[in-house]
Structure 1
Amino acid sequence: MNELADSADVSRFVVTSNRGFAAYAQDELRSLTPGTKFDELIAAETYVMRIPLDRETAIRRITGNEPIFLRHMFPIDETVAYSGGNEDIGAIAAAVAKLAPAAGRSAAIQIRKAERLSPGFEMSELKLGIVSMLHETYDADAVAKDADYIVSVFLTEEAAYIGISEPEQNLSDWPGGAVRFRKEEGQVSRAKFKLLEAEYEFGLDLSRYAKALDIGAAPGGWTSLLLERGVEVTAVDPADLHPDLLGHPKLTFMKRNAGDVKFCEHSYDLLVCDMSWSPKMMVKLILPLLEALKPGGAAIITLKLMHGKPFQTVKDCVRAMQPGMELVKAKQLFHNRDELTVFLTKKY
């Protein structure tokens, strides 16, 4: 790996995107800071970023202009030589203790490794070593979520990259930004995870919405989550909804094409759409339906990336919905595949 020594105006981060979309994340990061360079850790997914800014300036710039395709990052505050033996556990734990902030704070320990790397110890042993060191040194508690700070470790064949950061500085408080939810018994579809993640990523509370319009709802993954949140849902799709949803007191199911239905103006405060259509066709369908959305209402829409021009796709779709709709955030979620999700609000 071509290392560049850290200095006052150069810092390093481990950065992660969805597999196959790293080039887009790198383009965004280079656009933010020309001269930024990358060294691969996991093919087409995880890299060491060398950015010509000091650590804090780099964090502020990236978090203040969050890239669409950058899923997760953490600063490399220390590099420890790695030999693959049990002695590495003590060396890494000692380096973490040296970097850790004041006593008595809670820490999440997140450890990842390069593909095909087979350490001479289990990841659980390394985690236990770090947890024990932090507790003995600072009386710090290890937690899975809602930590005061995150200890990040990435193991390669030559080195362990270590960083200490606050959760918001990493863009995600999940290891590598891999947001994982437990599959529920009787779950309608895995598409539910996508809306769950959107709720988390966009800082939403879906239970605050009174009435939602779900376009292309079948088999009902997004509808099921909205109903669980107590939202009154109108689900529209010519295909069938999952039978477990039918008869729900807050569900109205219209087994029709959304383009053939006229909805009352300003009757919904949330519109969601997760359809496998081209962005151009999806926008053509959605545009007249936006009249049903109240001013100040929100829209969460999945955009399929079909032609290898994701940035232009976002621009074209948002432009088509302006001036009435305003883009709040566009993000490729962990549960997105060849797509991304946009969150918009209605201005009038």
Structure 2
Amino acid sequence: MSTQSSWGEGDFSRFICTANHGFAPYAQEELRRTFGAVKSTVLVPGEILLAGLPIAEEEVSTKLLEDSPTFLRHIQPVQFQENTEDSAQAMEKLISFVLNHTELTGTKVTLQVRKTEGSFWQENAVSLKQLLTEKLDDLGCEWVVRDADHVISVFVANDMLYAGVSRPDQNLSDWSGGAIRFQKEEGQISRAKFKLLEAEQTFGIDFTSFHKALDIGAAPGGWTSFLLERGLEVTAVDPAKMDATLLESPKLTFLKKNAGDVRFREGEFDLLVCDMSWSPKLMSRLISDLLYSLQSGGTAVVTVKLLHKKPLALIKEVIDTFERSRMQIQHSKQLFHNREEITLYMIKY
């Protein structure tokens, strides 16, 4: 039975919430801390859950954007739900639900479709998206992939079909499920570059506005290559080898040393980045000891490895260390490309 008429009204709303694999329990805890009681059903273990929140739908994204959750990557409203035992009827009702959104006519719309294993739709999500696009031809909208005015979100989970219509900002990410995809480039040194590309988009950092960067734990050079491409002068520090192609750049200074053994001029850099596979507590102390070289107003982008079972407490401890070193936290976020880590975006005051 469809329950679209009663959802999203009054002081109760439902959302499909997504986190990196294994981190949904922490996203759920963030929801609980923000909204109080949360009723949830697991759709994909450790990754996707259906959450009922004691707050009106239009207030949810506003509150989440204010609180900037670390682990909650993406949400989509559930305004329509239908059992797929009769899949043809469920699809007809879904089409009717979307076509009733006359505000979509004449606007740019993206259709985002996801599915779980074992759902009624045996083919992939792309084929379902193609079918729905054809069925929704009467909507009279312009179908786009990016920069949409509205998002139609469809999620097929086992025996249920869920859908909602929202603005991209209301979903926390305008990518389907918050899964940002980048094309691997020929000659790309490592996939670590994707982390900075995603941070650039998610946090709105204009890396071309910086002049001199310090890259701690730089080898083999994924982040260094990104910064050189943005036109920065880069000082890279690592006892391991850097990619040979980078060493040819006149804008690169490579110090084949441990980070604890280097010294710089005070305020020498306007950007500091670090993506080391170190203990987060050791990393935060090491970086704090080098922050004298970052000028006031300078930016730091640092990944924090989550090595034990209490990431919320660990993140707080690391953030406290940086805040004592005059760093203002702009964002603490587990990006799609972070996997078992988070990214801190900070500015020195």
Name the counterpart of 1:253: 254
SS of aligned partner of 1:344: strand
Question: Could you tell me how far apart the structure 1 residues matched to 2:62 and 2:178 are?
Answer: 18
Classify 1:88/1:326 alpha carbon distance in 2 versus 1 (closer, same or farther; 3 Å): same
**Fraction of identical pairs, as percent:** 46
Question: Could you tell me how far apart the structure 1 residues matched to 2:209 and 2:130 are?
Answer: 40
Instruction: Give CA deviations for 1:25-67 in whole Å, capped at 9, x if unaligned.
Output: 1111001111111101111110111001111122221222121
Q: Which runs of 5+ in 2 are unaligned?
A: none
Does the alignment pair 1:144 with 2:145?
Answer: yes
Paired residues in the alignment total 344
Does the alignment pair 1:338 with 2:343?
Answer: no
Letter in 1 for 2:218: A
Question: Could you tell me how far apart the structure 2 residues matched to 1:242 and 1:106 are?
Answer: 43
Q: Which runs of 5+ in 1 are unaligned?
A: none
- 8 Å Cα contact 1:96/1:130 also seen in 2: no
Name the counterpart of 1:292: 293
Question: Could you tell me how far apart the structure 2 residues matched to 1:201 and 1:67 are?
Answer: 13
Deviation, 1:103, is 2.0
Name the counterpart of 2:235: 234
Name the counterpart of 1:38: 40
Deviation, 1:86, is 5.1
Name the counterpart of 1:171: 172
Classify 1:24/1:123 alpha carbon distance in 2 versus 1 (closer, same or farther; 3 Å): closer
Does the alignment pair 1:312 with 2:313?
Answer: yes
- 8 Å Cα contact 1:74/1:163 also seen in 2: yes
Question: Could you tell me how far apart the structure 1 residues matched to 2:117 and 2:292 are?
Answer: 49
Question: Could you tell me how far apart the structure 1 residues matched to 2:209 and 2:119 are?
Answer: 45
- 8 Å Cα contact 1:108/1:145 also seen in 2: yes
Does the alignment pair 1:218 with 2:219?
Answer: yes
- 8 Å Cα contact 2:11/2:56 also seen in 1: yes
Q: Considering only aligned residues, what root-mean-square deviation do their CA atoms show, in Å? A: 1.9
Instruction: Give CA deviations for 1:115-147 in whole Å, capped at 9, x if unaligned.
Output: 23251565344323433454423x211111111
Does the alignment pair 1:127 with 2:129?
Answer: yes
Question: Could you tell me how far apart the structure 2 residues matched to 1:130 and 1:117 are?
Answer: 16
Question: Could you tell me how far apart the structure 1 residues matched to 2:223 and 2:105 are?
Answer: 43
**TM-score by structure 2 length?**
0.93
Does the alignment pair 1:24 with 2:41?
Answer: no
Classify 1:84/1:276 alpha carbon distance in 2 versus 1 (closer, same or farther; 3 Å): farther
Matches of residues 140-219 of structure 1 in structure 2 within 5 Å?
140-219=141-220
Question: Could you tell me how far apart the structure 2 residues matched to 1:299 and 1:75 are?
Answer: 34
Name the counterpart of 2:51: 49
Letter in 1 for 2:234: V
- 8 Å Cα contact 1:86/1:121 also seen in 2: no
SS of aligned partner of 1:306: coil
- 8 Å Cα contact 1:93/1:129 also seen in 2: no
Question: Could you tell me how far apart the structure 2 residues matched to 1:87 and 1:228 are?
Answer: 52
Name the counterpart of 2:112: 110
Name the counterpart of 2:330: 328
Letter in 1 for 2:297: G
Question: Could you tell me how far apart the structure 2 residues matched to 1:104 and 1:83 are?
Answer: 34
**TM-score by structure 1 length?**
0.93
Q: Which deviates more from structure 2 when the two are superposed, residues 71-80 or residues 57-66?
A: 57-66
Deviation, 1:8, is 1.2
Letter in 2 for 1:320: T
Classify 1:188/1:127 alpha carbon distance in 2 versus 1 (closer, same or farther; 3 Å): same
Classify 1:151/1:293 alpha carbon distance in 2 versus 1 (closer, same or farther; 3 Å): same
Question: Could you tell me how far apart the structure 1 residues matched to 2:242 and 2:127 are?
Answer: 46
